[in-house]
Amino acid sequence: MAAAAAAAAAAAAAALARLAAAFLLLAAQVACEYGMVHVVSETGGPKGKDYCILYNPQWAHLPHDLGKASLLQVRDWTASVLCSPPDLPAKGFSNQIPLVARGNCTFYEKVRLAQGGGARGLLIVSKETLVPPGGNKTQYDEIGIPVALLSHKDMLDIFKSFGRAVRAALYAPSEPMLDYNMVIIFIMAVGTVALGGYWAGSRDVRKRYVKHKRDDGPAKQEAEAVDVSPVLVCVFVAMCCSALVLLYYFYDRLVYVTIAIFCLSSSTGLYSCLSPLVQRLPFGRCRVPDNSLPYFRKRPRVSMLLLALLCLAVSVVWGIFRNEDQWAWILQDALGVAFCLYMLKTIRLPTFKACTLLLLVLFVYDVFFVFITPFLTKSGNSIMVEVATGPSDSATHEKLPMVLKVPRLNASPLALCDRPFSLLGFGDILVPGLLVAYCHRFDIQVQSSRVYFVACTVAYGIGLLVTFMALALMQRGQPALLYLVPCTLMTSCALALWRRELGMFWTGSGFAVNTSLI
């Protein structure tokens, strides 16, 4: 009994130690903030530019407004690490902001010497990952000038763009509660769900009750949709979990595989979305001559071949220029929307029971990998967020393309330093979108004037707004399905209950209603 009690006490002590360590780490993260250094040339050259800095407000606060920040001369002293009095220049740093190299001593020793030499701030240049410039309370009270870390790459860009004679102002504008780019993401996401659900529902019902002539001509039937069974749901979720964990541990190797898959699938999706429009064009109806090639012997239209080449070219262009932050995100979003529409048209949930199973299982999956995995990883980071945004220690610096991304429209330190884009994963569109498509199919069959479809689409929009509010309030990545799944499922279920159609809605038996409706 005594041994068991001792073991329990030891386990409790270890748990408390881990909790204390987590608290200290959280405190360190809170103390560390991103800021900006605004650099201009003393000779009146190019327009000024902002660069990212990492600072600790416990040393000294930075003004929130650039107009209230002092524009001071920058002194390149990077040949020194500034760790001892002999490292100071003969005349000190009177009213200057010195640039010094990182290493060999503590941040406190550097900033104490800089302050004693008359400096008005200190920028420590680091070739490594930027870390919070920490100290203790006594040291914080002694220092009255700001100290921040600047990357070596940014320092080189400053001297290349502005020359050696530059002035700089340190400031830290407040982060906006919500960036305007969220409006663009909201329109794209809700629009894709609404259009995909409407298209998939109408197409699926038409294929159920209208007989198509199967031949090799223009009226050939499209590929059959894939019904999702409970077994398929379990297999799919297991594959998602495995893929996410593998990406977490082997990101640099698997990210290129994911990029290649995205290029292929998104070009297919773009072709699927544009082909109905091209087929209706009054020109370009000539066909390939008779031949024995596997695909071309069906004599496809030349316009469709040109469309296929165009879609493939768009995905290849994105693949080559995917890291061009200025414009590549537009191609990625266009391909992503096409991919989502294609998947919503191809994958079909036959009953509300299947919808509920899929959404609830993925709800648990999303919450687990965002909120629970930080307690299981050594770094304390969420596996989902780490994979979606790209690990900070990735050698490739590649990002997964399976997201809608829009650059931040507000100038802020977070946008400049850490997250220049706002992201929404394809799963946050596809999973609720499959329910929206089911609601549309059910609407048509029971002649309900698309009330289920509209209600579920509106519920999706409300759930997305709640997600954005949670993101703004918590300032951390959110599992969107945590809010989208309850909103869409509860709304659909409540509507079916109110209309006294829950039995038919649950089993999909409404599809057995009079087939002459179409």
Element (H, E) at 244: helix 230-249
Per-residue pLDDT of the chain (518 residues; tens, 9 = 90+): 444 444 444 444 444 444 343 333 333 333 458 888 899 988 876 788 889 888 888 888 888 888 888 899 998 888 888 898 888 888 889 889 999 998 878 888 888 899 988 999 999 998 887 777 877 788 888 888 888 899 999 999 999 988 888 999 998 887 776 678 889 999 999 999 999 998 887 766 566 555 444 444 444 444 456 777 788 888 888 998 899 899 988 998 899 999 999 999 999 999 999 988 888 877 666 766 666 666 665 666 777 788 889 999 999 999 999 988 888 999 999 999 999 999 998 888 888 999 999 999 999 998 898 888 888 877 777 888 888 878 877 788 888 899 999 888 777 776 777 667 888 989 999 999 999 999 998 988 888 788 999 999 999 999 999 999 888 787 677 888 999 999 999 999 999 999 998 889 998 765 544 433 33
- Report the distance separating Cα 268 and Cα 308, nearest Å: 8
- Report the distance separating Cα 26 and Cα 149, nearest Å: 20
- Report the distance separating Cα 230 and Cα 128, nearest Å: 49
Over its C-alpha atoms, the chain yields an Rg (Å, rounded) of 29
What is the full DSSP assignment across 442-461?
A: HHHHHT-TTHHHHHHHHHHH
CB distance 449 to 213 below 8 Å: no
CB distance 193 to 254 below 8 Å: no
Q: Which amino acid is at 46?
A: P
Output the six-digit token pair for 200: 């998939």
Q: Residue 183: which of 453, 409, 392 has the closest Cα?
A: 409
> To the nearest 10°, the Cα dihedral for 344, 350, 352, 358?
-60
- Report the distance separating Cα 205 and Cα 196, nearest Å: 14
Give the list of residues 6+ apart from residue 486 with CB closer than 8 angstroms, or none. 363, 463
Tell me the three state secondary structure of residue 510: helix
Q: What is the pLDDT of residue 19?
A: 36
pTM of this prediction? 0.76
How big, in percent rounded to 5, are the helix, strand and coil portions of the chain? Answer: 55, 10, 30
Q: How many residues does the chain have?
A: 518
Element (H, E) at 248: helix 230-249
Output the six-digit token pair for 63: 């003004």
Q: Residue 270: which of 327, 193, 342 has the closest Cα?
A: 342
Instruction: State the catalytic residues.
Output: 366, 428
Enumerate the H helices of 409-450 as residue ranges: 413-417, 427-446
What is the full DSSP assignment across 323-369?
A: T-TTTHHHHHHHHHHHHHHHHHHHEE--SHHHHHHHHHHHHHHHHII
CB distance 166 to 99 below 8 Å: no
- Walk me through the domains of the chain, giving residue ranges and CATH numbers: 28-171 (3.50.30.30), 181-250+323-517 (no CATH)
CB distance 174 to 321 below 8 Å: no
237-274 as b/e, with b when 16 or more CB fall inside 10 Å? beebeeebeebbeebeebbeebbeebbebbbbbbbbbb
- Report the distance separating Cα 338 and Cα 321, nearest Å: 19
- Report the distance separating Cα 288 and Cα 510, nearest Å: 44
Give the list of residues 6+ apart from residue 370 with CB closer than 8 angstroms, or none. 382, 384, 385, 477, 478, 479, 482
CB distance 5 to 22 below 8 Å: no
Q: Which amino acid is at 483?
A: Y
